[in-house]
């Protein structure tokens, strides 16, 4: 039977000018719906996991559009609640050549930020669940979202659910009063898998280290329940040409192949595709293969429009074996 | 020399699904920038007035896009201030046949709503100005916006500027604490030209009347500085088929021709085109012709994409005389 | 609890040249997925029914796209099987003015047509189901599809499931050997609700009559289990201007309002929206209101792109009461 | 065997802003290639005539694009010559509702205007040809084009070719020195079929009359070779709603049905479609049916994007008999 | 006088999601018409050959669209027959980066597959013809298509027509019963020019060899009429970055320049452009230059949307000489 | 206070087939308005200079569209005059890979070419102006344009305005009679900053030299008022992959970084962006930094659609310091 997973997090509307236009040139914007956690949900649902995403949406047609978008990818939406309010959104200007991409966030005061953490019965929700995935974005949004996170993580841990945490430190969030160094460690400690670079660990857990290896050792000392720590290394040659590599620590450092990625179609969601790949991989493969699968999934994501990674397990595995690359499959 | 006019009000981004799609179907949204007062500004600038629009915008690329959009139409932007914050926006679903059009507003807590009313030196601003136009939307947004309105109107009046007020009562605004019945009369009293239907007068000035004529008489009693009161009567047969007529009270009731409008392209801004037409008309024509010009401008606006009315004075005058209708002009 | 319904039928890809272009002009085709039965499924799922659609699809990415499309609308897809083969498709040229719309069918030899009727355990499938909807298209496709239909209907009837049959006689189908006059009556006899005009009844049941009322009486005599017979009357003034009315016989003739529909956006699926409306209506309202709801749902469908009817129960009920027609809802 | 026809005239690029946008709004322009005579050629080629179009084009890729466009419709292009120079073009702004459509011509000094009339051996060209069609636009362009016309018409007449002339008086042309009243009669006198309204006859032949019937009688007196005179009557209710009727004089006045045309897709080329219809009709039908065929072809043209009339003989004949109007043909 | 050539083969509709979208994301598909043989026809017609394409098409508007498409490029269509049936089609998903492109074929049971081979009088058809081009796709489609091929090749050979054969072995075809190893040699033996890689030769002629040179020697032994054997070597670095080189054997091995092709626009038809280039080249140049011309034509094809190679002889020759590469030609 | 600059030159409409289509494939053309001098104006206005562009436009809606386009970018348009005539235009086919881009000019006999040089009071115009920018295109267009240039340059010099001249020799212009070698030196001699490569200097000033350094020395000898001479070196690897470097002579040769530019979005206006960058830079920075700023601005221009360079001073400075390259700025 397929693993049962719950993901939790805000979903936003992403508005992108077409054809590399600048914000000041755009007369029309492509729209997709996504979020760091929901993107993981979509990948895993496409790959056969039994996935429910928990979130709060505005009770209007944009909220409805989000639900339709999740359902299309096979993510279950029965844990979603709606209430009056707005849908968070962000504007993405896609760069080109040396010109950087830009994001203008407009997510403050969303229905999600104003959610009531007590409307969810997490004991009930986590029954029979195998895995729970959250990110450091949620507790950074609002006190309510932080409280929700705290309840959810504790309930998940109590039910024996494995937990993955994408620390994802965002300096521009954390406006509501809490300090990440105080708030995050309590949430992070229950994780089996942690996605975190050195900056994340420093800003959210006060762990300073000279390199990723020693940062991992210190993290393990501080959070002994952790089994895996992972991050990606991205080299941005230009807006459409990056190089990507994954690192997984499970006591020692494993490194993936390094991929060259000219001609990127859409890099948003690339990190979420990696995390989904790792969750999938650690359920089915040994760690090195899980890592290679994850980075391959992430590389292929860069060839797909939108936040969601519409590729199959077989396609990612083929890339791991360097097969079919750039071919014409008849 | 052309009349010098200042308009004041918030500008929002309008996001519209293409080709009559519903919100839940849309993968892309057309974007234009507009507002009830800025739309008046654009019409008058296109027609040769010397127009400045005063507003507050976010200090990001979307704010810049608004400024470019105004400049393109010839509206002066030197009275615009920017500050941190968001751009208000709204989503418009264009109906078809019997299916109604829908708007989802997302304008709360914008840079405009949070503006500092004291950053404008209105005495200076209104020197040499002939006309000032505002709407009842602004004082409904926030206490700051209300204070701005109060200062602006008083300064304008003091400088002998003629004032037009589009009452435009919006039940969903007025969330910040003030009651329109208390706030509005003080602002309305200085108007020369008032755009208001019976509902507006009842909700904003407590004037109840059986018909428009008596409502006008009572309004004049209450606000003796008023010279003209006007409104339009719209009959919505379907989302793309309306009928439109203008009424102007200047002691007695004047009525315009009634236009049949099948095949509407875009009705947003139709009312603002009417008001601009009336301001233009009352500067150049006697009242009946001004009214006919205004309604013709509004009818033609319904054939134009976007909030702004890209038609010429000559085109509107031709329609007044029923010339060139539906022709192929070589 | 919401009614549980199963719909059964082939789903095709519809390819439509954009902007009223002719087939010989088109350089690009819009694509949607639909079928007479699946369109009913989508409406009912959008309105809260618990709907599963049963079909057979090709085991390729187009089959996958069909499943995603159903899921997006909330239709359950666990009864769907896939096998090698092609997806049936049709090309739709949308007419304009006096120029008629045209369909080129290309559905022969699809995966559905070649399905194995024995792979479905209908006794199991129909447990706890309230309603089953099928159309006369399925038994007209192939012997296999006919056998599937026979098994499904008998099993449904045995389990006490209410059955609606959209007779939908298509002269161009029925190529595989069976004569509709021999094949259809056995399938039709179990229906509670039959959608059939006089031509359908004559060609599929040999019932000749001078008018719809007498045709209904004769049908009831022949198929005594039938409770309702219904059809719509469409007057095609032009490709984008039709008039529509519904008739429902439940012993006597009930007629709906007659709607004028200029400016049609997409008429495909209009009949299916009507049937869905009637199934919904007969579950919640008395017959006259059910009929008015059904025709209103169908009228609104004509304002929606695609086969599927993305309108809400509330919107249809508003139209029944002639409210909000062509308005701008803020 | 199908009639062999030669058409002669300039072909221009038409540039049209999309979706009813105004010139000042347009960021992109649809492009088609057409001309009054070439549009006739295309209709007749689509309907099975053996058609060659004679013109002069620039020797660049735009000239090549024109040739490809003609070939696509089955018009022979071996009589076309190329030379250095520009392609004439015009900008078309499509109106909406009461707002008129506008054309900005930019055709001066084209390769066609500068053609060498002596490069064509018309005696050779007209051998075995049944019909020659020209318009009053050509002699209005330049002295060279006028000389070409003179040679062509005389040679055609000498070879016994039937001649149709679309007088099509354009006040804005005739800039090169000749007066139409002097130039045109010599060219017109050889026509069998003349397309001309009262204004055309007055401006090009000095024939003043109170009504079309007497204008025709006077024209016949002046040009005794003429057998048929025809025109259409267009009532422009709005930019997208016209009414259309044809009149054919062959000694007496014949009138066609009057068609109501709401929802016009593209009216450019509507007159040319009518002329093609009449040439076709007079070759195969008696005059009244020819007239009905011509007006039906013209009506259907209004439902087609572009200058060219992509409809079949069968479709026009169906409309003559009022069949299939607005239907969905499966 | 320009060489007269006949090409023979099926033409299909190609449906491609726009902007690198996956099949499961696409809401619209670009449509072009092409086939391995017709693509050769188009190139040669653009370059001035007198080309007729022989095929069988459905007698509907899609068949008509194919004819218009060929005519546009200057290919003669008088050898085309139509009959009831469907147009073969295929769906192309264009890859990006490491993600491969995918084709879903849907060509079974087309009008072409069901053609009547006796309706063509090949003795008559090949009179005065200089060259005949066919591919191994046709005999792989159906028994009827195989029989057609056999008749055509024999008649062509009998008339002294030079024959080029693109072996093009497709494992997924050959479903109707014949074994390529038995069917193909009889057809291949009459070729002057054979396009075949080692796999083609092994699967269609049972020729196994260690390298291309020895495969060619063995092929010449088996089919002594052959004068040239050719193939291309493609290195697929990614979906949009390939490298390409041509090899021509005429007793000894000639190799072309190797081209680096980042930023591919459309690789479909690249091989056909090469073959057309070689046929053109062998008619006008000595072998090495013919080969360089062919590979340059193929490289430029990769910069053109659609199957057809809209480049000129001059452009390909410029590339052979490494001139104008990537320049801005004013 | 920001520098006040006047630019002078023709503005044309640029029509570009979409998505790398060839002219012969295009059914629609993107439209932007630009010119070598106006592009400089736009950059400088975006960067805060007080810029007026002087030109003559047709008195139609296309002329109006040009004005709106300038205003949008903040360029003042009060020095613009309109008259009867046409707007010059050019067609741009964007190349791909090895395939070159192509321009078809269609600018002859424009309103600008026919301008009346005496309608401008240059003494008045240049009062208080800091800088004047012109190019060698203008005197190449017509005698009138040459006379305008002569008057303008002399008046500017007389008022002490600094002058930059982009020599920009175009062999295809200069059709009206004057020889550049006679006409240009008189105009060039007043320049402070000259943009000219060796070819420009040879063709317009008769300066032949072995390298850029010696060409500059000779130019300085001939035109002693010159302070800076500059040019760019472009290496065109393919249509979308160029390399770019700037050279500035101010007595000695300064060279900028050499930028690699794969994935070019739009190279038109790249040179104008460079010139604008240099004018800006020489006003605010020392020469080497000015040069680096200019080339960075030009590189970034290649990532922007349209002629105009919508980038900020900050973005260009960041690139100078190699910061943010290809990043995702949140």
| Local structure of residue B246 (DSSP, 8 states) | E
Compute the radius of gyration of chain E from its Cα atoms.
Answer: 19
User: Environment class of residue F255 by beta-carbon count within 10 Å: exposed (0-12), middle (13-18) or buried (19+)?
Assistant: middle
> Chain A: residue nearest C312 by CA?
A61
Distance CA B189, CA B227 (A): 11
The beta-carbon neighbor of A236 closest among F299, F306, F325 is F325
How far from F278 is each of F232, F298, F303, CA to CA, in Å?
12, 10, 19
The alpha carbon of residue C190 is apart from the nearest alpha carbon of chain E, in Å, by 37
How far from C109 is each of B282, C58, C117, E110, F53, CA to CA, in Å?
72, 11, 15, 11, 67
Domains defined along chain C, listed by start: 1-115 (3.40.1190.20)
pLDDT tens figures, C132-145:
999 999 999 999 99
Cβ contact D318:C90 at 8 Å: no
Determine contact: A26 vs chain F, CB below 8 A.
no
Q: Which of residues 239-268 of A touch E (CB under 8 A)?
A: 259, 261-265
User: Environment class of residue E201 by beta-carbon count within 10 Å: exposed (0-12), middle (13-18) or buried (19+)?
Assistant: buried
The alpha carbon of residue C185 is apart from the nearest alpha carbon of chain E, in Å, by 31
pLDDT tens figures, C163-190:
999 999 999 999 999 999 999 999 999 9
| Token pair in block for residue C323 | 């409210």
Neighboring chain F residues of A237 at a CB cutoff of 8 Å: 325-326
In this structure, the number of other CB atoms found within 10 A of the CB of residue A229 comes to: 26
The beta-carbon neighbor of C325 closest among B21, B102, B238 is B238
**Confidence band for F187, pLDDT divided at 50, 70 and 90:** very high
Inter-chain touch A24–B108, beta carbons under 8 Å: no
pLDDT at A247: 98
Phi, psi of F109 (to 5 degrees): 60, 35
How far from D37 is each of D53, D302, D308, E109, CA to CA, in Å?
8, 18, 11, 43
Interface test with E, best of F93, F97, F265 (most E CBs within 10 A): F97
Determine contact: E69 vs chain D, CB below 8 A.
yes
Average pLDDT of span E266-291: 98
Average pLDDT of span A92-100: 97
Residue B326 has pLDDT above 90, yes or no: no
Percent of chain F with pLDDT over 90: 98
The alpha carbon of residue D172 is apart from the nearest alpha carbon of chain B, in Å, by 9
Inter-chain touch C72–A69, beta carbons under 8 Å: yes
Q: Tally the residues of chain F.
A: 330
F172: helix, strand or coil: coil
Inter-chain touch B262–D262, beta carbons under 8 Å: yes
**Confidence band for F326, pLDDT divided at 50, 70 and 90:** confident
The alpha carbon of residue B68 is apart from the nearest alpha carbon of chain A, in Å, by 8
Q: Which residues of A291-316 are buried (b: 16+ CB within 10 A; e: fewer)?
A: bbbbbbbbbbbbbbbbbbbbbbbebb
ipTM of the complex: 0.95
Residue C1 has pLDDT above 90, yes or no: no
| Local structure of residue B99 (DSSP, 8 states) | B
Distance CA C135, CA C150 (A): 12
The beta-carbon neighbor of A310 closest among E25, E103, E240 is E25
Distance CA D187, CA D148 (A): 11
Average predicted confidence (pLDDT) for chain F: 97
Distance CA D159, CA E283 (A): 42
Residue A19 has pLDDT above 90, yes or no: no
Neighboring chain A residues of F304 at a CB cutoff of 8 Å: 22, 25, 99
Helix or strand run (H / E) with residue B205: helix B198-205
Distance CA E310, CA E312 (A): 7
In this structure, the number of other CB atoms found within 10 A of the CB of residue C217 comes to: 15
pLDDT at C326: 87
Distance CA B196, CA B166 (A): 6
Determine contact: D72 vs chain E, CB below 8 A.
yes
The alpha carbon of residue B308 is apart from the nearest alpha carbon of chain D, in Å, by 11
User: Environment class of residue E146 by beta-carbon count within 10 Å: exposed (0-12), middle (13-18) or buried (19+)?
Assistant: buried
Residue F188 has pLDDT above 80, yes or no: yes
Looking up tokens 């990612």 gives A316
Average pLDDT of span A259-277: 97
pLDDT tens figures, D66-80:
999 999 999 999 999
Determine contact: F79 vs chain E, CB below 8 A.
no
> Chain E: residue nearest D65 by CA?
E72
Cβ contact E85:E40 at 8 Å: no
User: Environment class of residue E321 by beta-carbon count within 10 Å: exposed (0-12), middle (13-18) or buried (19+)?
Assistant: exposed
The beta-carbon neighbor of F324 closest among A22, A100, A172 is A100
The beta-carbon neighbor of C28 closest among E22, E23, E30 is E30
pLDDT tens figures, D125-170:
999 999 999 999 999 999 999 999 999 999 999 999 999 999 999 9
The beta-carbon neighbor of C328 closest among B20, B101, B262 is B101
> Chain B: residue nearest F71 by CA?
B72
**Confidence band for B19, pLDDT divided at 50, 70 and 90:** confident
| Contacting partners of chain F (3+ CB pairs under 8 A) | A, B, D, E
| Contacting partners of chain A (3+ CB pairs under 8 A) | B, C, E, F
pLDDT at F232: 97
pLDDT at B78: 97
Query: For helices D36-46 and D270-284, what crossing angle results, to 10°?
Result: 50
Q: What is the DSSP string of C250-300?
A: SSSEEEPPPEEEES-S--TTHHHHHHHHHHHHHHHS-HHHHHHHHHHHHHH
Query: For helices B180-188 and B143-158, what crossing angle results, to 10°?
Result: 20
Of F34, F104, F81, F87, which is closest to residue D106 (Cα–Cα)?
F87
Average predicted confidence (pLDDT) for chain D: 97
pLDDT at D326: 87
Neighboring chain E residues of A20 at a CB cutoff of 8 Å: none
Neighboring chain C residues of A73 at a CB cutoff of 8 Å: 68, 71
Determine contact: E326 vs chain F, CB below 8 A.
yes
Looking up tokens 């100078």 gives F320
Distance CA F94, CA F26 (A): 12
D233: helix, strand or coil: strand
Inter-chain touch F241–E263, beta carbons under 8 Å: yes
User: Environment class of residue A243 by beta-carbon count within 10 Å: exposed (0-12), middle (13-18) or buried (19+)?
Assistant: middle
Inter-chain touch C103–D299, beta carbons under 8 Å: no
Determine contact: A305 vs chain B, CB below 8 A.
no
Interface test with F, best of E242, E260, E263, E312 (most F CBs within 10 A): E263
Determine contact: B90 vs chain A, CB below 8 A.
no
D316: helix, strand or coil: helix
Helix intervals (H) in chain E? 36-46, 61-72, 122-125, 143-158, 180-188, 198-205, 212-222, 270-284, 287-301, 313-320
Interface test with F, best of B41, B47, B50, B68 (most F CBs within 10 A): B68
**Confidence band for D297, pLDDT divided at 50, 70 and 90:** very high
Distance CA A173, CA E106 (A): 51
Residue E1 has pLDDT above 80, yes or no: no
Distance CA B73, CA D25 (A): 11
pTM of the model: 0.96
The beta-carbon neighbor of C101 closest among D261, D262, D329 is D329
Of B117, B177, B131, B94, which is closest to residue B7 (Cα–Cα)?
B131
Determine contact: F28 vs chain E, CB below 8 A.
no
Inter-chain touch D23–F102, beta carbons under 8 Å: no
The beta-carbon neighbor of A328 closest among E25, E103, E262 is E103
Residue A1 has pLDDT above 80, yes or no: no
Cβ contact F239:F4 at 8 Å: no
Of C86, C83, C88, which is closest to residue C119 (Cα–Cα)?
C83
The beta-carbon neighbor of B29 closest among A15, A61, A108 is A15
Distance CA A263, CA A279 (A): 27
Average predicted confidence (pLDDT) for chain A: 97
pLDDT tens figures, F63-72:
999 999 999 9
Average pLDDT of span B262-287: 97
pLDDT at F19: 87
Q: What is the DSSP string of C58-76?
A: ESSHHHHHHHHHHHHTT-B
Inter-chain touch A303–E20, beta carbons under 8 Å: yes
Of C308, C275, C304, C302, which is closest to residue C71 (Cα–Cα)?
C308
Q: Tally the residues of chain D.
A: 330
First to last CA, chain A: 32
The beta-carbon neighbor of F29 closest among D31, D64, D108 is D31
Cβ contact E183:E146 at 8 Å: yes
First to last CA, chain D: 32
Helix or strand run (H / E) with residue C236: strand C228-238
Distance CA D313, CA D328 (A): 19
Q: Which residues of D60-74 are buried (b: 16+ CB within 10 A; e: fewer)?
A: bbbbbbbbbbbbbbb
Distance CA F120, CA F54 (A): 9
| Token pair in block for residue B278 | 């009336």
Determine contact: F77 vs chain D, CB below 8 A.
no
Phi, psi of D135 (to 5 degrees): -135, 165
Neighboring chain D residues of C98 at a CB cutoff of 8 Å: 259, 261, 299-300, 303, 319, 325-326
In this structure, the number of other CB atoms found within 10 A of the CB of residue A216 comes to: 28
How far from D118 is each of D53, D122, F224, CA to CA, in Å?
17, 9, 56
Of E82, E225, E205, which is closest to residue E153 (Cα–Cα)?
E225
pLDDT at D43: 98
| Token pair in block for residue B25 | 């179907």
Cβ contact B171:B256 at 8 Å: no
Strand partners, B92: B103
The beta-carbon neighbor of D62 closest among F23, F27, F32 is F23
Average pLDDT of span C73-96: 97
Size of interface A-E (CB pairs under 8 A): 78
Looking up tokens 């309109």 gives F82
Residue F1 has pLDDT above 80, yes or no: no
Of E330, E327, E329, which is closest to residue F241 (Cα–Cα)?
E327
């Amino acid at each position: 039977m397929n693993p049962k997973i719950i993901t939790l997090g805000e979903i936003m509307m992403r508005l992108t000018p077409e054809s590399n236009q600048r914000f000041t040139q755009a007369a029309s914007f492509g729209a997709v719906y996504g979020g760091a956690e929901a993107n993981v949900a979509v990948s895993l649902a496409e790959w056969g996991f039994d996935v429910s995403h928990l979130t709060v949406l505005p009770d209007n047609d944009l909220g409805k559009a989000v639900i339709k978008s999740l359902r299309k990818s096979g993510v279950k939406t029965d844990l979603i609640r709606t209430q009056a309010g707005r849908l968070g959104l962000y504007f993405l200007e896609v760069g080109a050549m040396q010109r950087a991409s830009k994001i203008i966030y407009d997510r403050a005061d969303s229905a999600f930020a104003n959610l009531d953490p007590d409307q969810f019965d997490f004991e009930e929700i986590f029954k029979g669940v195998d895995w729970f995935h959250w990110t450091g974005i949620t507790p950074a949004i609002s006190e309510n979202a932080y409280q929700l996170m705290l309840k959810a993580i504790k309930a998940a841990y109590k039910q024996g659910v494995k937990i993955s945490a994408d620390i994802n430190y965002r300096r521009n969030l954390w406006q509501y009063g809490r300090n990440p160094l105080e708030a995050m460690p309590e949430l992070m400690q229950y994780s089996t898998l942690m996605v975190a670079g050195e900056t994340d660990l420093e800003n959210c857990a006060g762990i300073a280290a000279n390199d990723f290896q020693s940062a991992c050792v210190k993290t393990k000392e501080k959070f002994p329940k952790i089994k895996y720590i992972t991050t990606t290394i991205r080299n941005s040659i230009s807006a459409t040409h990056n190089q990507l590599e994954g690192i997984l620590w499970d006591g020692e450092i494993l490194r993936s192949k390094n991929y060259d990625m000219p001609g990127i179609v859409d890099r948003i969601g690339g990190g979420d595709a990696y995390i989904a790949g790792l969750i999938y991989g650690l359920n089915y493969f040994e760690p090195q293969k899980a890592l290679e699968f994850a980075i391959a999934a992430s590389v292929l994501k860069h060839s797909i429009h939108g936040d969601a990674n519409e590729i199959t397990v077989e396609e990612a595995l083929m890339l791991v074996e360097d097969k079919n690359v750039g071919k014409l499959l008849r």
